[in-house]
Amino acid sequence: MKAVEVVESLQRRFPNEPEYIQAVSQVLETIEEEYNKHPEFERVNLIERLCIPDRIIKFRVNWVDDKGNIQTNMGYRVQHSNVIGPYKGGLRFHTSVNESILKFLAFEQTFKNSLTTLPMGGGKGGSDFSPRGKSNAEVMRFCQAFMSELWHYIGPDCDVPAGDIGVGGREVGYMFGQYKKLTHQFVGILTGKGQEFGGSLIRPEATGYGNVYFLQNMLKTRNIDLKGKTVLVSGSGNVAQYTIEKLLHLGAKPVTCSDSDGYIYDPDGINEEKLAYIMELKNIERGRIREYAEKYGVKYVPGAKPWFEKADIATPCATQNEINAEAATALINNGIIAVTKGANMPSTPEAVRIFQEAKVLYCPGKASNAGGVAVSGLEMTQNSERLKWDREEVDQKLHNIMDDIHENCVRYGTEPDGYVNYVKGANIAGFIKVAKAIMAQGIV
């Protein structure tokens, strides 16, 4: 297998899907050597079967706004691979959603889920609908219309969606209610549910907490303590909020937060009181992060990202490709020692090369942000057994899973000079399990 040739072939077949091609390219170039140690893979065209989704479901969603007008959006579910378990991955509601973005996310999700060691395949879905600026009634009507089509293609042993950008506890609740009405079944069809109807403790916190647990492991490889380190965080949603919370628990100092309008920089640090304000602002009032700057009298930069501020660690928790080459160079020049990801593919390929050439601690999202889907898997287990584990038990299981992911990344990614190439390590570790499962199950 020659990675360049495979990517060129996919580009010809899918010329208008840059995010998907980027994700495939970044994985294939790191697994090429390992893949070619297994000639049996090439004989059954495993690489193409691995890159192309099992199926893509597309549908129209009609819903009625508060003025009585009928609105139309597109809905999608990309079921990438179920060779190691039911399709598993979030639903994203955002105006940027298209087939390319969901294919990249489902592809990445397949390897992320493999890394958790739990029996979950990879999938992703969503809509170009945005909850921003919509009333609760409008969001409910959209979610009900969306699920009225999606329910045909999902099930607790088939495909179990969760939340993602634009899909939090409110949206999950509305979709779960509609699924229950349509099927007359109370099953664990969605994860990220409320505590009152089958949700797992630690699930809202899991991606952010897992991100920081992985960061701790990275720092330990160089005998560096997280305590006292200054951290740049992007985003202000669920992942960013609980990344900040865990950073505070461990003695670090987060100084930035952002949304699509801009970012705030608080040199005194975002403490527990300020974090509580962010959570209320974003989760309840649905406000904008500039209101933080107005309340606390700190710097606000509209239309920008926080990567040009000085800090020890950066953790992007917003969206894909938010760190480009210019931002990566600025981070290096400002003395950054580690970059860990709460978001999916937040660095461009050029930025990744800059971080790796500078030998900073750098990991891909499929490793460091796997905590969310890991606890989703634990939620599925609790639903199947009709049990509810306590907070400490779930948190310990999450911590153990993140430790295991880090160990596998080090195993497959350590280079001759001792530098841990976490991108290579995560991709190979995730790939090997999926590839062996494909081989074992025949040509299907």
Binding-site residue positions for NAD(+) = 207, 238
Alpha-carbon distance of 11 to 25, in angstroms, equals 10
Alpha-carbon distance of 63 to 204, in angstroms, equals 28
What's the burial of 351, exposed, middle or buried (CB within 10 Å: 0-12/13-18/19+)? Answer: buried
- Count how many Cα atoms sit within 13 Å of the Cα of residue 209 in the half-sphere of its side chain: 21
Tokens of 111: 């390897």
* End-to-end Cα spacing for the chain: 21
Q: Encode burial over 38-52: b for 16+ CB neighbours within 10 A, e otherwise.
A: eeebeeeebbebbbb
Question: Which residue, among 260, 250, 193, has the nearest Cα to 217 in the 3D structure?
Answer: 250
Using alpha carbons only, how large is the chain's radius of gyration in Å? Answer: 21
Alpha-carbon distance of 213 to 243, in angstroms, equals 10
Distances (CA, A) of 430 to 116, 120, 153, 347: 9, 12, 26, 20
Cα torsion 94, 377, 344, 291: sign: positive
Alpha-carbon distance of 214 to 104, in angstroms, equals 23
What is the distance of C-alpha 248 from the center of its chain?
22
Question: Which residue, among 163, 234, 238, 236, has the nearest Cα to 207 in the 3D structure?
Answer: 238
Could you tell me which residues are annotated as the binding site for substrate? 88, 109, 112, 163, 376
Pairing assessment for the beta strands 230-233 and 313-315 based on DSSP bridges? parallel
Q: Which residues pair with 162 in a beta bridge?
A: 90
Catalytic residue, from 2, 67, 103, 124: name it. Answer: 124
What is the distance of C-alpha 301 from the center of its chain?
26
Answer yes or no: 310 catalytic. Answer: no
**3-state SS assignment for residue 190:** coil
Beta strands in 236-281 (DSSP E): 253-254, 256-259, 262-265
The DSSP string of 276-327 is HHHHHHHHTS---THHHHHHHT-EEEET--GGGS--SEEE--S-TT-B-HHH
Residues noted as catalytic: 124
